[in-house]
Structure 1
Amino acid sequence: MELTIGRFCCVLLSLFAGLASGLEITSSGPTSIEKASGQSVKLDCQFNLAPVDSGPLDIEWSLISTDNQKEDKVVILYSGDRSYEDYYAQMKGRVHFNSADPKNGDASINLTGLKSADSGTYQCKVKKAPGIRSRKMLLIVMVKPSKPRCYAEGPTQEGKDIVLRCKSNEGTNPLQYSWDKTSGGKLLPSSAVLDPVGGTVNVRNASAGASGSYRCIVSNRVGSEECTLYLNVTPPPNTAGIIAGAIIAVLLFLIIIAIILFCCCRAHHRKKYEKEICNEIREDVPPPKSRASTARFTVGSQRSSLGSMSPSNLHEYALKPQYDKIPSDEYERPPSSAPLPPPTATRMAGPNLSRMGGIPVMIPAQNRDGSIV
């Protein structure tokens, strides 16, 4: 009986010894790695096999989901002496086994072209029946700060509060900002208040001594960038002079507008007056003078008609008063010129008148006023 118990104990001890000497992961590096985006990283997973591990070798790398209700994502797989490196679409072409033959004890993988989305907890699981071992590693992909923008906020005048700002649009938190002066005394003004988290410097009651070049450096655990700024603190402007100049400019503008309106109104009234003058009818203007040619033609016509008259008509014509005659130009001459004698009818001799069949008639003499003498 005692011999049987002794043999059973030996079998158990040998069994535990075999299990203790089975599959083991020997990697002892850090379990948390920080890398910058765009870089490469090696996730180490070394293992040893035992003679009792006689089953097929399977190596699986997976990205553990932060949500317990979601499945883990298999990144790369080795099974049946074959590697499956394009198993995860988001890491296709960027993940590879470190060794060409992982069954030799190197299950490490290399990730290239890291992205911020690659951050997470990765698990290396090695299976070779009856042994199963796993190792977890935390990968943090940090984004290097982008080049910041430096600028001054507010009026850069003496006696004013000037705020210097520095802002980086990209970068994994926490970001740290620092300011220094690169000209002059190379020290920030005594009234400056620095905010390393917000990236601002508040220069209170700025003076001319605050002028100069400033530099801002933004950094995190994977890199840093910087920018420069030149601050020029100017004297306060002459407010009274600016107001006076503005008033003078407004007055000059109003005067010019008034002159233009006055000229336009005057031109309009002048045009209207000329138009009324052209349309006005003058009633006090005397009629135009008759031409001498017309009067001469009329007198000549009377003379010609006188020669063609018969003795009876001639007697009636002779008895007509002088008022029936058409006035000529001599009655319109000014009083200073001597009047010409009125035209007289052509006297015809008695024999000529008898030859024409007329009867001689004695025409009484008349004075200038037309009365019979």
Structure 2
Amino acid sequence: MLVHQHCCLQGYFAMLWTVAMRILCTLTPEQAYSLKITSDNNHYYGTRDRSVSLNCKFTLDSEDLEDLDIEWNIVPPNRQEKLILWYAQSLIHNNLYAPLKNRIYFTSHEPQDGDASLSITDLKLTDSGTYQCKVRYLAREQIKDILLTVMERPDKPVCYMDDEAVLNTNIRLRCKSSQGTPPLKYRWAKLSVNRMLDPDAFVDAPEGDLYLDKITERDSGTYRCTVQNLVGMEDCELILKITSPSTVIDGHGPIAGTTAGITAEVGLEDCEPVLNITSPSTKNASIEEGLTACVEAKVRCINLGLVMCTGSIV
């Protein structure tokens, strides 16, 4: 009985072996060997004048690499793909595409070992586009499309103010970068004193402006503006000094409720002599005369440079 069972088992396994061999013999080469691109990133951002690597790693369960073929193509919009880099029969063929000449290479010195990634140096804005990694083994093929976007990083911005920062007034701190691929995003931070922006402060992120309403001494200090896009960031700093309100006169006399004197001075080299006009507190008409003289002198000197014209209540 045992001998009969043993003979049956031998016959059963022999039959399984025969069936398995027949299946293997009927498989085509692409069914017999597994080929797969494993990299999953489909979009890369590169910085102008720098380098980028587009990943294309693959697995192949065969040690015979004689028939392995690797291609990189660029696919211009609405145009046929162009071959830019090629590996075949242990040879690398480069400089196949003039706009990328001497700027592309396989990241690995042995791309046949599973890393067919592409490196591009000295990036140009015109290098943006769709790149295609194609790996073939015998009749089996894997393709991966990768989008590359080349951007220009922001340059160092300039921080400045439109007007003097006067106590209890509204002001705008400005920050501008002259270059950089949009979208550019600006943000402001306070570095000194309480190191916190006023809760009522408003930041116009796309434009780079910081609005402060009814400023107080608490708002004085150092502010930093940072501009950023997807490939880089830069910053600048500004020191905000709060000044007390100065007397404002509209040319028709002193501010209501004041009877004090005013001194107006205009001075500049190669201009008329310094003009000193002091009005007694009892003669408001002289204040107007002093301001008029100041304005006239300023007009005469405006083409020669900065004119100082200060007023004060004494």
The reply to whether TM is greater than 0.5 is yes
TM-score normalized with structure 1 length: 0.55
Q: Is the 8 A contact 1:53 1:129 kept in 2?
A: no
Q: For residue 247 of structure 1, what is the aligned residue in structure 2?
A: 289
1:226 to 203, 226, 235: 235
Q: For residue 21 of structure 1, what is the aligned residue in structure 2?
A: 32
CA distance in 2, matches of 1:220, 1:17: 50
Secondary structure of 1:144 counterpart: coil
Q: For residue 186 of structure 1, what is the aligned residue in structure 2?
A: 195
Instruction: Quote how far apart the aligned CAs of 1:111 are.
Output: 2.0
Change beyond 3 A, Cα 1:53–1:180: closer
Change beyond 3 A, Cα 1:10–1:178: same
Gapped runs of 5+ residues in structure 1? 1-6, 255-373
What RMSD, in angstroms, separates the aligned Cα atoms of the two structures?
3.6
CA distance in 2, matches of 1:194, 1:9: 71
Q: For residue 70 of structure 2, what is the aligned residue in structure 1?
A: 59
Letter of the 2:80 partner, please give it.
E
CA distance in 1, matches of 2:161, 2:92: 57
Change beyond 3 A, Cα 1:169–1:16: farther
TM-score normalized with structure 2 length: 0.64
Question: 1:203-253: per-residue Cα shift (whole Å, max 9, x none)?
Answer: 122334433221112223433221101122323332233695562375799
CA distance in 1, matches of 2:197, 2:235: 17
CA distance in 2, matches of 1:98, 1:167: 38
Query: 1:45 aligned to 2:57?
Result: yes
For the pair shown, the structure with the greater C-alpha radius of gyration is: 1
Secondary structure of 2:144 counterpart: strand
CA distance in 2, matches of 1:125, 1:202: 53
When the two structures are aligned, how many residues end up with a matched partner? 245
Question: 1:264-309: per-residue Cα shift (whole Å, max 9, x none)?
Answer: xxxxxxxxxxxxxxxxxxxxxxxxxxxxxxxxxxxxxxxxxxxxxx
Q: Is the 8 A contact 1:53 1:131 kept in 2?
A: no
1:78 to 75, 87, 108: 87
Q: For residue 119 of structure 2, what is the aligned residue in structure 1?
A: 110
CA distance in 1, matches of 2:293, 2:101: 76
Q: For residue 174 of structure 2, what is the aligned residue in structure 1?
A: 165
Q: For residue 215 of structure 2, what is the aligned residue in structure 1?
A: 206
Secondary structure of 2:193 counterpart: coil
CA distance in 1, matches of 2:291, 2:139: 98
Instruction: Quote how far apart the aligned CAs of 1:47 are.
Output: 4.6
CA distance in 2, matches of 1:120, 1:210: 47
Instruction: Quote how far apart the aligned CAs of 1:162 are.
Output: 0.7
Change beyond 3 A, Cα 1:251–1:18: closer
Query: 1:95 aligned to 2:115?
Result: no
Q: For residue 156 of structure 1, what is the aligned residue in structure 2?
A: 165
- Give the structure with the larger strand fraction: 2
Change beyond 3 A, Cα 1:19–1:233: same
Change beyond 3 A, Cα 1:251–1:232: closer
Question: 1:113-144: per-residue Cα shift (whole Å, max 9, x none)?
Answer: 33443333321112344233222223333433
- Give the structure with the larger helix fraction: 1
CA distance in 2, matches of 1:244, 1:15: 113
Q: Is the 8 A contact 1:22 1:51 kept in 2?
A: no
CA distance in 2, matches of 1:51, 1:230: 66
Residue identity (%): 30
